[in-house]
Chains A and B, each alone.
Chain A
Amino acid sequence: MRFVERLNVLRYYKPFIEALGGVKQVQTALKWSEWYAVKWWEEVYNDLGLQSIRESVFARALFISLKLRGYLREDGRIKKRPEKPEYPTNSYAIEFVELHESFDRVGAVNVATNKADENTLAVLYSTMLSQGWYRILRQTFLRLMEIERYQTIFEPIVKEGHVAMAVMEIATPKMYIGFDYRRDNVELAAAALKIKPGECRGEICIFNAPTACDAVKIARRYVPSGVDAVLMLHTLYWMLDPVKELTCISQIMGQGSKLLVGQQVVESTPGLVAVVASFGAKHVFSWKGVEQMLKSAGYELSKRYLMYMPYYIAVWEPRR
């Protein structure tokens, strides 16, 4: 990790690091993520070869992130292996490692060949979202973004509603609008937020729409002058066509509106990036790739907090 990035992590992500028992415990947890990533890649490569990266986002995420760290040769063979780390002692750090262990039991080859049971993966995704370490990570992001400053918020792809719930715990926005392309997610999020899906009479409105472009058209009815902030925590990789959808999203952003981005990238935790890819992500990004995409969609960088550790965090705004 670059020196400046290390300093910024300590500066901006202190609550997360403290909750996970300090820098050493966090490092141990991250080492496990690397260790598992190498293990999974070896299994996938031995069974399916390099061809797997064309057929599976999960395999692609493993290959790119491990190659970047010098673990793999160009042809996919393993160049070096990380040592098996010690087991962490902090409860949250253990939770993080346990998620990798659970995923390992599903089987990397099963995941790469789409043979893993979809419901089991959905349960594991839900498990991750409800784990304590993830809750702290989410809270730390929202506090860093000073979410309480924004009165109207749009959240593309709400997943199971955990981000919206976390926002409601620390702020009182006048209007919170979110959508998801999956009906089951809309139902789960609405139930967790104790609202009816598609009913936009209160402060929270969650509905189903196929893409952000369709969602923006609906959302503009409720916030004709645009929203103060668009909240995208680990959302970009779920979008089918991110540049197109980001361009549409800028149409719901009012004067001075901010795009709050938190995004796992290949430079982050390799095992975790691959795990999330298996949960249905459409893409894997590098942090530079995220920035190029945002620029191409008509945004300019307002402030970058972190490049990749524990994930990419920045504030962007539409170029006027």
Chain B
Amino acid sequence: MYRLTSSVKCPICGVEFRPTVRSFNGEEVEVTCPNGHIFTVFVPNGDSVLDCEIRDWERFGLLPQATQQAVLEVIHSGKVPNELQTLMRRLREAGIVVCT
């Protein structure tokens, strides 16, 4: 179970609440408001990155194998999962990854 970090407003009764979801399957999830109304909310899985590439392979090679793999997958898919957001920003700041 995950609790979303931001509140949503129920389109039926207008109550604002932070929904709990069972799992993320794509970007649309079904949630239930405290008054029992069921509706769908859009949950971006994280920031998107466009046209990124590894600019500094030497320093990129210092990262653990699993992390290198995860970063390459982010670059290919263009989607940054929440847990990799800060790392992607650091990689860009360090000039290891460059996005246009």
Contacts and interface: CB of A to CB of B under 8 A. Distances in A.
B5 A191 contact: no
Interface in A138-188: 160-162, 165, 168-172, 184, 188
B81 to A, nearest CB: 9
A239 to B, nearest CB: 21
Interface string B1-45: 011011000000000001000000000000000000000000000
B51 interface: no
B100 interface: no
A117 B59 contact: yes
A169 B4 CA distance: 7
Contacts of A135: 83
B87 A126 contact: yes
A101 B68 CA distance: 13
Interface in A175-229: 184, 188-189, 191-194, 204
B96 interface: yes
Contact of B62 (A94, A124, A160, A192): A124
A106 interface: yes
Interface residues of A, number: 38
A274 to B, nearest CB: 17
Contacts of A127: 63-64, 67, 87
A17 to B, nearest CB: 20
B86 A123 contact: no
B48 interface: no
Given A123-B90, A130-B84, A168 B3 contact: yes
A35 B6 CA distance: 44
B83 to A, nearest CB: 5
B94 A194 contact: no
B89 interface: yes
A165 B3 CA distance: 10
Q: How large is the interface on B (under 10, 10 to 19, 20 to 34, 35 or more residues)?
A: 20 to 34
Contacts of A170: 3
A155 B85 CA distance: 20
A193 B3 contact: no
A189 B85 CA distance: 10
A130 B83 contact: yes
B90 A94 contact: no
B5 A165 contact: yes
A68 interface: no
A301 interface: no
Given A169-B2, A169-B3, A191-B89, A101 B84 contact: no
B73 to A, nearest CB: 13
Interface in B44-67: 59, 61-67
A91 B59 CA distance: 23
Contacts of A192: 82, 85-86
A119 B83 CA distance: 19
B42 to A, nearest CB: 14
Contacts of A160: 86
Contacts of B90: 119, 122-123, 126, 188
B91 interface: yes
Contacts of B83: 130, 135, 162
Interface of A: 91, 94-95, 98-99, 101-102, 105-106, 117, 119-120, 122-124, 126-127, 129-131, 135, 160-162, 165, 168-172, 184, 188-189, 191-194, 204
Smallest CB-CB A-B distances: 5 pairs: A98-B64, A119-B94, A160-B86, A126-B90, A126-B87
